[in-house]
Structures are given as structure tokens and as C-alpha cells.
Chains A and B, each alone.
Chain A
């Protein structure tokens, strides 16, 4: 009865929003596995921040807020940002972290400047664009969810088709190249999949926090399994869970932003996994350590005991 009441109160809109959040959580969770295993977690941050000016420019050029157009603008800018980072690292002596923060803040800053500019010019149609900074899932419409579903589904299908190639690329790039796989092409492809996973979540989660959706579910999933297929599956589930629960919690009261709530839900999953997962979890570790220490103590005591007895016998039998 309680549930039914809940459903009728929020009904259609909420279901649409939750569906969108679940979809983007699934996609970013699954693909995030590769980012985490490749130690490219920062890449998501660069992509999401760099995407902001792309969204604004796409709107300025077309005057339209059609999700596909905005997402396309985001993807192009996100890609461009990543490309610039990789080129800086390859062509200069500037290190990764510096290149990352340089590009990330420049692009994001540029996006903010453009955004304030069009807000001041009083184009009423621009309202809602600033949702892309912190995310606003509540404004998600059916066409947004459709866009997420199609693009995300496409990315997941590519991931599944190239399962073996991507796994090899992430585990041992040198070996992959030696047996003839074009690792540069695969690398670009994988980065493109990251770009898709990021840009489809920008509206709901926001540019500032979206990269956490790439990282958090995968980090949590790694705690529970030692098998990459299971890790991808679990990360997808965790991502969806975070998306849905975040959406529901933020819908309870007016003014709770969805993006941060989704990220907090993901963080709870990560925290729980790090604490309680078997084998890798902290609790498990400390139990194991405690046990080891105790059995070591017993073993040492036995050894000392045995040695003492032996000495005793020696001393007793030694002629004085």
C-alpha cells in the first residue's frame, strides 16, 4: 500500500528518470572497469570537464537543446580535450598530471565563461544548460533516456564484441602489439567508449562529478571478484543501483541535486565494499591478520616450549 502510494505520487516522471539513471550507471560502471584497470581513472575527469564548452557551443550554434545535439557537442569537446592532453604528454616534457589539470581547468573555465555569457544575453531558451554543471536528473525526458539508451547500448555492444582485444590491451599492451593488434587504434577506441560513457551522464550527474560514476562502481566491484567478466557485470549493477537510489533519494525533497546524491550513493557502495568484501575487504583482512598473529604466537610458544624442554633434558643429562 505504501509502495503504491509512492508510485502514484511520482509516477511516470520518476520512472523515466530512474530508468535513465540506471542506464547511465550501467554503461559507466561497465566501461569504468577498463578505466580503473588501466589506471586511467583521471581520464574521465578530463573528459567530463572538457565537455562543458562543447555543450554550450552546440547550443549556441544550433539554438536547440535536443539531447543528441548537446551530447554530440559534449563528446567532441571531451574528445578534443583528451586528445590535447595526450599530445602534450607525447610532444613535450610536461607530465600527465600537469597536462590533465591544465586542460581540464582551461576547458571547464571556458565553458563557464560561455555559459555566463549566454545567460546574461537573456536568451530564455538557455535555461537548464547550467544543469550540466551539477546535474539535474529531474528534468530528464523520454527523449533523453532514449539517447542514453541508444548511445550507451552502442558502447556496450562494441565492448562485448571486442572483449578479448580490450582485455589484452589493458593487461599487456606490448604483447598485444607483438601479435599484431593495432594498439593505438584500440586505445583510441577505448577512449571513445569512455567519452560516450561520460557524456551520456552529464545531464543527470553533471560535469563536475560524472567521472566518479566511471570510477566508483568499478572500484567497488574489484573488491568482490577476481574475474574481469564478473567485475564488469558487478560494476554495471553497482552503477545502476547508485543511479536509481540516488534519483529516488533526491526526489524525496525539493532542492536536493540528483548528481551529488547519485555520487554519494556510489560512494556508500564503495565504502561498504572496501570494508566488508571477502578476501580484499578491510574487515576480512584484519580478521585474517588477527588469526595469523594468534597462530604465530601459538607456534612460537610451542617452539620455545620445545626448545626449553630440550635444553632441560640436555642440562639434566650433562655430567656435572
Chain B
């Protein structure tokens, strides 16, 4: 299915606006297969919107998104999504296993209920994120890091080729962060493409091999080694990034 040098994600001339204000302006972005990419930029730079536009969750004013050369609708089976943890109500009356099983709903389609096999897949995913002991735990009783792991497990169950994750490190402790990074790098080793909205500039060079600077416009995008430069940081964040010079 994969053409040798096909792009995992190809965004062309993407513009998204809420009312009159542009949130994303004329974005071009090529993501090669098998990279672990960080999208960085200040608050309000449109990072979440970019993810949602790629997933077809917000309607762009202009532009085009392709996943392995086809529109998202044709490729959703190979795309996994981790929304922001804060986007759902964790007081919802359900347990960990049930949330993870939701990752199978796409493959199941309409009406059909998850069965034994789906359960097993969900258990495997929970093991991968180290949450197998919490299968029957109420989701309201999870810590922030555990909630994040549950969302990751749900995406793993999707068994996707391309993963889009919105701030998977938000509000997690150091141990969980380490575990998540290991998991993401494992996905990359297995040839998956992982796009992550990221906030912590200090860890970009350690965790990722590809980086996209975003601030309404795409400032720069490429391998971390060439792209994660003071010039790009300054252009993306303005003057607010002086402390980075010490790196």
C-alpha cells in the first residue's frame, strides 16, 4: 500500500479560521513515514487546531490534507488519535478497560459490540502502558498520568500506522513521561509515524527526531538537528525565549 517515498502526512495550503480570525494560515507540512515529530509553538499557535484539521475534526477554510496520498476519510483506519486529556469528563461512569475498548469501535463499525478478542487487544494495550492492574478501576479515580496512559492505550488498540497526539505529556509525572517517551520511540522503531503536540522545549532534542515550529504560520519543519535552531525558536516565540540561549 505504501509507495516507497510516500509522505505519511501531507498538508497543503491549509488555512483554518474561527469567524474572521485565522488560527492557521497557509500551512504546508510534509511528514515522512517513521518519524517522531514534535509540533511546538506558543499558546494559541494553532497546534491543537492543526491536529484536528488533519483528523477532519475542524473544517478548513482552504487547503488539503493527505494521509499516505489519500484523504483522511479513506485512511481513518490507519490513524490513531490521542485527544487532550482535559477534553473529556473523567467523572464519566465507566472503567479503564471500557475506555480502552473504545479504540476498537472504529474497526467494529455500527451496532456490533466488542467481544472477547477486542477485550484481549485492550488488555495487551494496557500492559504496554503499564496499566494492566487498573483494568476495572473507575476512571474518576485515576491520576493525571494514569488518565494519559489510558488514552494512549486506547490509541494503541486502534493499531494505527500514523498517530496524532495532543499533549500526551501534559500534567504527568517524570516516571510516566519516561514511560510514554519509551513507548513513542518503540512505535517509531516499528515504522509508525507519531506526531505529538509538545510544550517542553527542553526535551525536544532528547525525545524527538523531527520538529515543526508553528505560530499560526509554519515557521520551520525538518529534522531536529538542522531545524531546532535559536533563529527558528526566536521567530516562533518572539523575544520570550531568551533563556534558551544557554543550551
Contact = CB atoms under 8 A, between A and B. Distances in A.
Interface of A: 37, 161-165, 167-168, 170-172, 174-181, 222, 225-228, 230-231
A178 B92 contact: no
B111 A37 contact: no
Contacts of B102: 168, 171-172, 175
Interface string B44-57: 00000000100111
Interface in B214-238: none
Given A37-B92, A168-B102, A225-B93, A174 B83 contact: yes
B52 A174 contact: yes
A320 to B, nearest CB: 47
Contacts of B55: 177-178
Given A172-B83, A178-B55, A226 B113 contact: no
Given A174-B87, A178-B79, A162 B158 contact: no
A225 to B, nearest CB: 6
B18 to A, nearest CB: 12
B88 interface: yes
Contacts of B57: 174, 177-178
B93 A228 contact: yes
Nearest to A228: B93
Nearest to A232: B93
Interface string B82-109: 0100011100111100010010011010
B76 interface: yes
Contacts of A170: 92
Given A174-B52, A178-B55, A178-B81, A226 B87 contact: no
A161 B93 contact: no
Given A161-B111, A178-B55, A172 B88 contact: yes
16 contacts: A37-B92, A164-B114, A171-B89, A172-B83, A172-B88, A174-B57, A174-B83, A175-B81, A175-B83, A175-B154, A178-B79, A179-B76, A179-B105, A226-B140, A230-B93, A231-B93
A170 B89 CA distance: 9
A228 B95 CA distance: 10
B87 A164 contact: no
B110 interface: yes
Given A37-B92, A226-B95, A231-B93, 10 more contacts: A164-B105, A164-B111, A171-B94, A174-B83, A176-B105, A177-B56, A178-B57, A225-B93, A226-B93, A227-B95
Sort A-B residue pairs by CB-CB distance and give the 9 closest, nearest first. Answer: A179-B106, A178-B81, A226-B138, A228-B93, A178-B55, A226-B93, A172-B88, A171-B92, A174-B83
B110 A165 contact: yes
B188 to A, nearest CB: 21
Interface string B148-183: 000000100010000000000000000000000000
A177 B55 CA distance: 9
Contacts of B76: 178-180
A75 B114 CA distance: 34
B196 to A, nearest CB: 16
Contacts, number: 71
Contacts of A222: 93
A226 B106 CA distance: 25
A234 B57 CA distance: 35
A158 to B, nearest CB: 11
Contacts of B140: 226
B105 A168 contact: yes
A227 B79 contact: no
Contacts of B158: 179
A15 B54 CA distance: 58
Nearest to B73: A180
Contacts of A171: 88-89, 92, 94, 99, 102
A162 B83 contact: no
Contacts of B89: 37, 171
A168 B81 CA distance: 14
Nearest to A39: B89
A113 B170 CA distance: 55
Contacts of B52: 174
A178 B55 CA distance: 6
A226 B113 CA distance: 20
Contacts of B73: 180
Contacts of B83: 172, 174-175
Contacts of B99: 171
A165 to B, nearest CB: 7
Contact of B113 (A164, A168, A225, A230): A164
A132 B203 CA distance: 64
Nearest to A180: B76
Nearest to A170: B92
A179 to B, nearest CB: 3
